[in-house]
Amino acid sequence: MTRFFSLSSLRARLMFLVLLAVVPALGLMLYNAREQRELAAMEAERSLRELVRIASDDYERLIDGTRQLLIVLARLPAVRQQDTAGCVAIMADLVKSYQQYVGLGAYKPNGDQFCTTIPGARPINVADRPYFQRVMKTRDFTVGNYQIGRLTGRAVLPFAYPALDESGNVRAVALAVVGLSWLKQLASKAYLPPGSTLTLLDSSRVILGQYPGEEESAGKAVDDPILIQAAKDRSEGVAVGSGADGAPRFIGFTSLKSGSGDPMVLAISISQKAIFAEADRILNRNIFWLAIVSLIALAAAWFGCDLFILRQLNSLLSASKRLGGGDLSARAGLPRGSGELAHLAETFDDMAGALQRREIEAGQAEGKFQGLLESAPDAMVIVDRQGRIVLVNAQTEKLFGYSRRELLGQKVEILMPDRFRAKHPEHRAGFFADSRARPMGAGLELYGQRRDGTEFSVEISLSPLQTEEGVLVTAAIRDVTERKRAEESVRQLSARVLHLQDEEQQRIARELQAGAGQSLDALLSQLSIIRDSGIVFDWKTSEALQKSLNLATDTAKELRNLSYLLYPRLLDEAGLVEAIRWYGGGFAQRTGIKVTMDIPPNFGRLSRDAERTLFRIVQESLTNIYRHSGSQTAKIRITKDTYAVRLEVKDDGNGIPPGILDASGGTLAISGVGIRGMFERMRQLGGRLEIDSGSWGTRVTAVLPASSARLAGHTVQG
């Protein structure tokens, strides 16, 4: 059952599409609901503005009506003559007719009450009331402030009008007291929705009355931020926000006149829930029916998917699993048709058939590949990305002493000495990152290890092999032990030849100096004696004698130069630095090439072999500059420190032609005996020789380790 509810299943995706199709309808519903709410909000704001205007008009009419009533009462003889019985009888009948009044009454100029319609009321004095003081002062109609009545104990609004005699003196004051019943009348007339309130505030933001909740809220300070702001503004308008209870609502407010001059505020509050009730009801109804339709569509998708799609797909899935398990004869077996699933099944069957044919062909190709692998003259090892051996040939078994079964699945590091195994995975990863055919460990000595633990020199060529399982590496391994031995013999022979060459050059130089040099010096001496003897010769004899002297002098000079070039005694007597300076100066005179030298003072002496090797490198480099570079300058620089001695000879000539330097940039593919001799001399001393060349010229760099350059008992220092 789990697969039916998997979010990645076809059934789930189809149901998701059904739900997705419902989204636009839901969005349209929400959009319509939003518009309806906006219209309801606009209508509520309009209604509130109209209601507060009606309330303001009703209040004004209440004031005007009360004024007319009090004018009539003030003219009654019973009021003017302070007739208590007559006054009470008249006013009691009037209160029955005008129910908006809590009571009617009359007061003497000193504030004592002599007439009231409130039964059982005790006599009071209102001389301290602001409205009474104002009517006595203005002698005109006065509206008081809402206050808690002394006789009623409720919030009332007093109105007063004076009864004057012919001289304009106050004979009595007629009083009408209005309660908050007009708020109830206004609420019933406005047909406010449930949850709405009408609130009357005084100028101090104290609730004078509220409907509903008149008894609970009267006399309390208002804590609603919207009502507080409305009392501050003292204007007419509509505010939207949240009240003290946190519920969003609309509040319409207007200011009403009072006796003190500070207006009161009447606020009508309607909750947004009530305003949006109809829009929310329509939205909920639409969502309900949309949910019903969606459930029906989902049920149809659920069962329809199983009937029309999943049965065919299950047949394809079963055949795919069989095919994945290696059964290449698996087929979907669905009837041919024009539908997409029928085409898919037909394509699957064709693919399975093609795979079956390809498997047969691959088996045949694998047999051919195995045959080629076995016929290879070298040991062939094929390794995957994890370094596991996946295939070897018979030469591998013969070379390493392992059987094929022992090698397959093992790490390739089993074929190398222990000291190389830890680093090899890093090198292997580097090859897979840049897989291309190349020799392994160019310039390094490589070793293999047989099953019995013996090591032998190998040469390995690597090449990538693309397969269905990914990239494999084919390693062709050749035992080069005998070749290494032959190369070592050649090196030893080369070293012996170089040594004999140096010895022979030294011997020839000595013999030239001791034999031919002395003979030439004797000849020059004899010829000089003849020239200086005073014998007079004919002009031909004199000319021949002088030419012989000149020829003998030049020959002696060339002989000395040749002797020094073969082996300068200065190298043994004064050291490398003086020999290079002498040779560089002579080279500049002979060739016209400017030679500059950068050699630190107090360079000191090196070992005899080191000085001889570095001097020969300078000789060979300067000779090549003269013969091949075309450069007019040459620079020799020697430095040393605790670790090595470094010689650099540089020119700014044509550079070595392409193809002469190989790809490594450090050896020559084609070169003469002199350059090869330089490499061999450096190799014997454990140093290295590098030749860099380009359009900027050529630089020959020789680096000798301090251990090879050090004199016995001395330390090489910078």
Q: Which residue has the higher pLDDT, 542 or 284?
A: 284
pLDDT band at 633 (very low <50, low <70, confident <90, very high): very high
Strand, coil or helix: what is 343?
helix
316-336 per-position pLDDT tens digit: 677 777 777 777 677 766 676
Radius of gyration of the chain (CA): 62
Of 631, 491, 698, the closest CA to residue 690 belongs to 698
242-265 per-position pLDDT tens digit: 665 667 777 777 777 665 556 777
Query: What's the mean pLDDT in 521-525?
Result: 67
**All residues at 6 or more sequence positions from 381 whose CB lies less than 8 Å from its CB, including other chains:** 389, 391, 392, 396, 407, 412, 415, 474, 475, 477
Q: Are 151 and 117 in contact (CB under 8 A)?
A: no
Query: What's the mean pLDDT in 373-393?
Result: 84
Which pLDDT belongs to residue 458? Answer: 87
pLDDT band at 638 (very low <50, low <70, confident <90, very high): very high
430-476 per-position pLDDT tens digit: 888 887 877 876 667 888 899 898 988 888 888 888 777 778 888 88
Which pLDDT belongs to residue 262? Answer: 61
Q: Using the predicted structure, report yes or no on whether residue 667 has a pLDDT greater than 60.
A: no
How far is the CA of 487 from the CAs of 481, 482, 613, 689, 694, in angstroms? 10, 9, 22, 19, 31
Q: Using the predicted structure, report yes or no on whether residue 715 has a pLDDT greater than 50.
A: no
396-412 per-position pLDDT tens digit: 888 888 988 888 888 88
Q: Which residue has the higher pLDDT, 179 or 364?
A: 179
How far apart (Å, rounded) are the C-alpha atoms in residues 437 and 650? Answer: 35
Q: Using the predicted structure, report yes or no on whether residue 498 has a pLDDT greater than 60.
A: no
Q: Which residue has the higher pLDDT, 339 or 664?
A: 339
Q: Are 15 and 298 in contact (CB under 8 A)?
A: yes
pTM of the model: 0.40
51-62 per-position pLDDT tens digit: 878 877 887 888
**All residues at 6 or more sequence positions from 570 whose CB lies less than 8 Å from its CB, including other chains:** 564, 578, 579, 582
Which pLDDT belongs to residue 487? Answer: 64
Q: Which residue has the tokens 């007019």?
A: 632
Q: Using the predicted structure, report yes or no on whether residue 342 has a pLDDT greater than 70.
A: no
How far apart (Å, rounded) are the C-alpha atoms in residues 178 and 156? Answer: 5
Q: Using the predicted structure, report yes or no on whether residue 672 has a pLDDT greater than 60.
A: no
Q: Using the predicted structure, report yes or no on whether residue 2 has a pLDDT greater than 50.
A: no
Query: What's the mean pLDDT in 101-118?
Result: 88
Q: Are 79 and 73 in contact (CB under 8 A)?
A: yes
Token digits of residue 655? 């550079």
Arithmetic mean of pLDDT over the chain: 77
Which pLDDT belongs to residue 669? Answer: 38
pLDDT band at 29 (very low <50, low <70, confident <90, very high): confident
How far is the CA of 633 from the CAs of 415, 567, 591, 657, 695, in angstroms? 54, 25, 11, 19, 15
Left if phi > 0, otherwise alpha if psi is -120 to 50, otherwise beta: which for 582? alpha
pLDDT band at 282 (very low <50, low <70, confident <90, very high): confident
Which one-letter amino acid corresponds to residue 584?
G
Start-end of H helices in 119-234: 130-138, 181-190, 214-217, 225-233
pLDDT band at 714 (very low <50, low <70, confident <90, very high): very low
Q: What percent of the chain stands above pLDDT 70?
A: 71
pLDDT band at 668 (very low <50, low <70, confident <90, very high): very low
Which pLDDT belongs to residue 368? Answer: 67
